[in-house]
Amino acid sequence: MTTDFENAALAVLRRAVGPSAQFRDGQFEAIEALVEQRSRLLVVQRTGWGKSAVYFVATRLLRDRGAGTTIIVSPLLALMRDQIEAASRLHLNAMTINSSNKEEWERIEQDLLGGKVDLLLVSPERFNNADFRDRLLGPLSSSAGLLVIDEAHCISDWGHDFRPDYRRLVRVLERMPSGVLVLCTTATANRRVVEDIHHQLGAELKVIRGNLDRESLSLSSVRIPTVVERLAWLAQWIPRLTGSGIVYCLTVADTARVADWLNTNDIPAAAYSGGRDPEQRLAIEQQLKANELKVVAATSALGMGFDKPDLAFVIHFQSPDSPVAYYQQVGRAGRAVDHAEVVLLWSERDEDIWQYFLEHGLPVQWHAEQVVEYLKAEADWVGLRDIEVNVNMPSSRIAGLLKVLDVEGAVEKERSKYRRTLRPWTFDSARIERVRNARLAEHQAMRDYATTSGCRMAFLRNALNDSDISSCGKCDNCTGNRYDRKADPSLVGQALSFIRRRPIGIEPRKRWAGHRSGTISNLLEPGRALCYLTDPGWGDQLLDAKRSGGLLSDQLVEAAAALVKDWMPGFDGIVAYVPSIDPARTLVPNFAGRLARLLQLPLSDCLVKLRQNTPQKLMENSAQQLRNVDGVFAIRGKAPTSPVLLIDDVADSRWTMTVLGDLLLATGSGPIYPFTVGKTKG
């Protein structure tokens, strides 16, 4: 028996999707809870279940009853484009306000005021933007509508996804009386996340949970200790897989490395990360969708909102640090095909990267207090640059920290300036500790996943507190079919020489920082490094030598010489090096001397250090780093007039090189080519 309401809802759905459409499990229940019972609702359903059908149909029915605009807060801009299209099929007028459509804001605002907008999609960042709120408030106030919070697991401290902007969203929710309709949706919420959302949204919250099984996936896990062997494994197995897929990497550098390696092996691949232009990213997504690429090597930036129903495989080049993140990423495969391969390549060394993410992802108490104290004393708007000059911590972390302090209400932001708010604030170390422990528990769960002998799908569903779990019958543990961990030795050899020959660039700095302002006129040339510090082989050797005060091996110096010859075949300048005051520190001069001999170039000791400074690695941001090395060096005797190969052991902040380059170029030397043994990962 169907009710009038069910018929009405179904009619709306059919108008959009087709005359024989039916609601999927739980969809009608959710719509009824919102529209008829006026409940606050949390829907936990796997990706592809059709949550948008719920808020579209609910919005249509609510609007027909005179309700105001539905506001959808979602971090997924890509999704917004698709949704606006889908909404129009339901005769819903959907709009988005984001940084790319500023010229339309005024018209949208007018339409909102006129009640012509049915759905407004915004990102959480936009929702918190002061100017946006000023504009939005009028239209929002006239009549109440549904508020949809997408990816609602971000509300919870326990979520694997820490999105500061959701914390302000929670504070808005706390100020909404219980009668305001709220729909939270997520595909990944374990019991603790659900409890947390429950707590934030009030006891009356109704929860609808679906089954999280993904029947098409066949999960495997292979332990491979080294980067070289993993690359070889990819080259061996990917050509045997049908269709195209994603290779997830933990770092941006690895996406480039994997994509280049696959291309060298005639496997069409592209690298994708948050650092690339939006247009480039969109182009890569489209090429993957059209199967023009076999592989996209991507960081987690290729994530929520990317939908390719026939994605045939997902391989992890390193293990992600949480089963929830892992479930989300593998869940992109096999949505509309019967079978998809999912392989986790892992080793204990992946945990160094987890640790790095953990330490850099959480605010440090003394950093936070230092910044707040400084702003409190200023009691006025202060630019980022002044903060960098006055606070010794990495710029990258200052920006992240200010964002956290902003949403916590310790600091407010206006046109890229910051000010201490008038709210009392203390560092919430208990909360940070709680988040850290939750992360460590996720690390352990990921270790357990890699080594479990039980069903892998059951393991993941269990980690997400799914119910009715049974064995999948498809994973390596269920079937006993396992991938070889050893790849073809000739491929391993090729991968090794690929890694060693691969140019690692050192980008010249273009702008001064801190006490010196403006662009740098005496620019260095783009430079090269032999290896990343984290690379096995050269990287290990360099770190050992630095630690023990020893010298570098002949093999390494020969590799460096080969690289320079490859890089600049006809180079006929001189070799100079970054000087030290301590005569016991011979690594750099010794390396430069041996390299010069192999290259048959003159070695110059024209650069001298005038006084001992603090080790550069203790300086935490550009302003401090530049101040630490500026004026510390000089040129002895006559400056060279030829091109210079400038040698150092490690390229990190690049300020030492930049200051030396400025000195040399000012006296007429040049061009200057920096070359270092190691580079810290960027």
Partner 1 sequence: MLDEQDLAALALTSRLVKSAVKPLSSREFWALRRSVEPSALRGTTAIEIASELAIPGEDAERIARLFDRATGIAVALETLNHSGIWTITGVGECYPERLRARLHDAAPIVLHGVGDTSLLSTDGVGVVGSRDISEHGSLIACEIAQTAVQSGLPVVSGAARGVDQDAMNAAFKVGGQVVGVLADSLERAVTRPGTRRGVAGGQICLVTPYTPSAPFSVGNAMGRNKIIYGLSRYTIVVATDQESGGTWAGATEALKKHYGRVASWTGAGSSAGNNALVKQGAVELSDLTHLDYLLDESDVPPTGKDEPLGDQLALGF
Interface positions with partner 1 (CB under 8 A): 38, 68, 71, 130, 133, 136-138, 140-145, 147, 168, 171-180, 376, 378-380, 409, 412, 420-423
Instruction: Return the number of the residue (138 or 493) whose C-beta is nearest partner 1.
Output: 138
Q: Phi/psi of residue 345, each to 5°?
A: -90, 130
Helices 456-463 & 323-330 angle (0-180, nearest 10): 120
Q: Residue 389 CB, nearest distance to partner 1 (Å)?
A: 19
Structure tokens at 640: 């060279």
Structure tokens at 567: 């890089």
Element (H, E) at 136: helix 130-142
Instruction: Return the number of the residue (145 or 579) whose C-beta is nearest partner 1.
Output: 145
Tell the residue number behind the tokens 């779990």, with chain if given. Answer: 469
How far is the C-alpha of 309 from the C-alpha of 340, rounded, in Å? 11
How far is the C-alpha of 248 from the C-alpha of 259, rounded, in Å? 11
Tell the residue number behind the tokens 């600049």, with chain if given. Answer: 568
Q: Residue 410 CB, nearest distance to partner 1 (Å)?
A: 10
Q: Residue 73 CB, nearest distance to partner 1 (Å)?
A: 11
CA atoms within 13 A on the CB side of 502: 22
Instruction: Return the number of the residue (107 or 423) whose C-beta is nearest partner 1.
Output: 423
Q: Residue 370 CB, nearest distance to partner 1 (Å)?
A: 17
**Bridge partners for 532 per DSSP:** 679
Instruction: Return the number of the residue (369 or 378) whose C-beta is nearest partner 1.
Output: 378
How far is the C-alpha of 250 from the C-alpha of 316, rounded, in Å? 9
The 8-class DSSP code of residue 294 comes to: S
The 8-class DSSP code of residue 473 comes to: S
* 554, burial (CB in 10 Å: exposed 0-12, middle 13-18, buried 19+): exposed
Q: Residue 639 CB, nearest distance to partner 1 (Å)?
A: 49
Instruction: Return the number of the residue (143 or 612) whose C-beta is nearest partner 1.
Output: 143
Q: Residue 383 CB, nearest distance to partner 1 (Å)?
A: 15
- What CA–CA distances, in Å, run from 446 to 60, 434, 440, 442, 584? 42, 19, 10, 6, 45
Q: Residue 184 CB, nearest distance to partner 1 (Å)?
A: 15
The 8-class DSSP code of residue 129 comes to: -
Instruction: Return the number of the residue (95 or 340) whose C-beta is nearest partner 1.
Output: 95
Instruction: Return the number of the residue (410 or 619) whose C-beta is nearest partner 1.
Output: 410
Q: Residue 425 CB, nearest distance to partner 1 (Å)?
A: 9
Q: Residue 137 CB, nearest distance to partner 1 (Å)?
A: 5
The closest alpha carbon to 530, from 507, 552, 559, belongs to 559
Instruction: Return the number of the residue (145 or 363) whose C-beta is nearest partner 1.
Output: 145
Instruction: Return the number of the residue (252 or 382) whose C-beta is nearest partner 1.
Output: 382
Q: State CA 557 to chain mean position distance.
A: 35
How far is the C-alpha of 466 from the C-alpha of 189, rounded, in Å? 9
The closest alpha carbon to 78, from 26, 111, 12, 123, belongs to 123
